[in-house]
Amino acid sequence: MKLYVTDLDGTLFNHKAQISIISRDILNREIKNGASITYATARSLSSASAKTAEVNFDLPVIIYNGVFIIDPKSKKQLISHYFSEDSKRTAADFFTAHEESLLVYSYINGIEHVSWLKSSISAGVRRYISDRKGDPRLRECGRFNELFEGDVFYITLIDPKTTMETLDEVFYNKNGLTRNYQADTYNTKEYWYEIFCEGVSKANAVTELKALLGADEVIAFGDNVNDLPMIKNADRGYAVANAADELKRAAYGVIRSNEQSGVPVFIANDRCKVWDYQRHNEIEPSDADKFSRCLAAYVPDSDGIGTLNEKQIHSVLKSYFAVTAYDKEIKIGNFYADLVTENGIFEIQTGNFKNLVNKLDSFLQAVHVTVVYPFHKITRLNYVDGSTGELLKTGARTVHKNLSDFFLELYRIKQYLNDPNLTVCIAELSVDNYRFTKKDMKRRKSDRKMSVPVSLENLIFLEDSSSYKRFIPNELSDRFTRKELAGLLKTCDTSLFIEIMKDVGLIDFVGKKGNEYLFIRTDK
């Protein structure tokens, strides 16, 4: 059994402290298909659960930097580490002599509390409380000794006034206690000094969880220095691209950043069996003779609709990619594939890629899949008399470059774009559009329309992340804002472009430039 353990903030979460839609979808798919995935965080269960509610984590989770291993469903503590009475007394005595604004975490009569002293509250603690309005754990104390009531397991100082050296003389692997000291993930100017039981760490908790679950291998992911022991002790430990340099140096490898869904994409590919498939060139010219034969062989039914209610473009492309007449409409599992050939499944999809989701879940586990998207590269509009069939007017041919619709369709299957068993093919077509109207050629909502393929110009195959580079403008700087990209991008909607390029690992979010988000190219 492989056990995947990920940190949350800065690793699985993006800069908004959220799990992105693509990360959610990939994780849920992998968990559904049997992956053993959990997390190790400095957060509490209530804080972590609120942020991960849409992911179906069902294994025990590690919280408070390893203080607890807890069942996320039942809330039962499987392993716990509380301060001893001596350690609690040492902490209370020290902070009686050194005035600090404390957050003290404890269980009082079986109920979790985060306590602070009303008369001693720093800006950092005030922010902490403000960000958690309505949290039932929050407990304001009027007297200092109330802070240490119950079973204490964690103490946090935000930007302490006491020097780290002075604090470490008492709490760093002494008096039954240890600490973690680092900058906050989202406000790097703010430093947190966190105290807990000696021997407690994410690394030790992962070792305990590995034994608890009987796992053979632990693969861990992190971004900050508190993840360092976990990364070193794991069978394989990976740093996300946005991780601290110290962590990257110690890691088994560096994967995509948190903004690029690095952890979910890695897990999906680590578990993926890559099926035999003969790769294509990125751009391939069409076989004009073959396409003409497929056009000539197309026979519509009485309603002008092809086999199995497919329109002409769909039907002709299906014939074009087929090797034999017996390749079409083959049942795989619970679904019918448009084509099954020696080079995998082909799905001709003119739009509504969301309808492919369930099919891809099934098909990609069995064979390589190529999704063919017909792009009307060259079009001509013809007006036809709806009563007599007389051709009233033929327009000039128009060349189209806007791929916004295509990128929108990609967005609908974004959780599969990094799967090595998926190829997306853009079939660039020349198409005649017919509008059946009246003699005056005025456009009416009731006019019947029809699209007829004339020729197949080129086939563009997107088979891995690098093949998506073709869409990035050559003039685009290494660092850029959305506005700067929009000034260069002529092929599609800028927002869609950024999302897809982030998802395939070619663009990354790095911060802000004034009031605008700043991105970097990672395709180089």
Q: What is the pLDDT of residues 60-116, one digit of tens each?
A: 999 999 999 999 999 999 999 999 999 999 999 999 999 999 999 999 999 999 999
Q: Please give the C-alpha separations between residue 376 and each of 217, 296, 299, 354, 408, in angstroms, as whole numbers.
A: 49, 20, 22, 20, 15
State residue 301's pLDDT score: 56
- Per-residue pLDDT for 302 more than 70? no
- Per-residue pLDDT for 125 more than 50? yes
- Per-residue pLDDT for 485 more than 60? yes
Instruction: Taking residues 353-375, report their average pLDDT.
Output: 95
State residue 294's pLDDT score: 93
State residue 176's pLDDT score: 96
State residue 326's pLDDT score: 78
Tokens of 141: 């104390």
List the domains of the chain with CATH numbers: 2-77+201-270 (3.40.50.1000), 85-197 (3.30.1240.10), 283-463 (no CATH), 479-521 (no CATH)
pLDDT tier at 7, thresholds 50, 70, 90: very high
Instruction: Taking residues 387-391, report their average pLDDT.
Output: 88
Instruction: Taking residues 334-351, report their average pLDDT.
Output: 93
State residue 65's pLDDT score: 93
Q: What is the pLDDT of residues 319-329, one digit of tens each?
A: 999 988 778 88
State residue 386's pLDDT score: 85
Q: Identity (one letter) of the amino acid at 221?
A: F
- Per-residue pLDDT for 305 more than 70? no
Q: What is the pLDDT of residues 450-479, one digit of tens each?
A: 889 999 999 999 999 999 999 999 999 999
Q: What is the pLDDT of residues 219-228, one digit of tens each?
A: 999 999 889 9
State residue 298's pLDDT score: 87
Q: Are strands 151-158 and 102-108 parallel, antiparallel or unpaired?
A: antiparallel
Residue 233 CB-density burial (10 A; 0-12 exposed, 13-18 middle, 19+ buried)? middle
Q: What is the pLDDT of residues 258-274, one digit of tens each?
A: 999 999 999 999 999 99
Tokens of 204: 């030790």
Q: Identity (one letter) of the amino acid at 240?
A: V
Q: What is the pLDDT of residues 239-298, one digit of tens each?
A: 999 999 999 999 999 999 999 999 999 999 999 999 999 999 999 999 999 999 999 988
- Per-residue pLDDT for 368 more than 60? yes
User: Strand ranges (DSSP E) for 121-164?
Assistant: 138-141, 151-158
**Helix %, strand %, coil % of the chain (to 5):** 30, 30, 35
Instruction: Taking residues 359-369, report their average pLDDT.
Output: 95
First-last CA distance in the chain: 36
How far apart CA 223 and CA 258 sit, in angstroms, is 9
Which among 188, 201, 179, 180 is positioned nearest to 242, based on CA atoms?
Answer: 188
- Mean pLDDT check: name the lowest of 29-38, 265-274, 419-428, 508-517: 508-517
State residue 311's pLDDT score: 83
Q: Calculate the average pLDDT of the chain.
A: 93
How far apart CA 221 and CA 191 sit, in angstroms, is 22
- Residue 449 bridge partners (DSSP): 435
Which among 295, 311, 490 is positioned nearest to 402, based on CA atoms?
Answer: 490
State residue 21's pLDDT score: 94
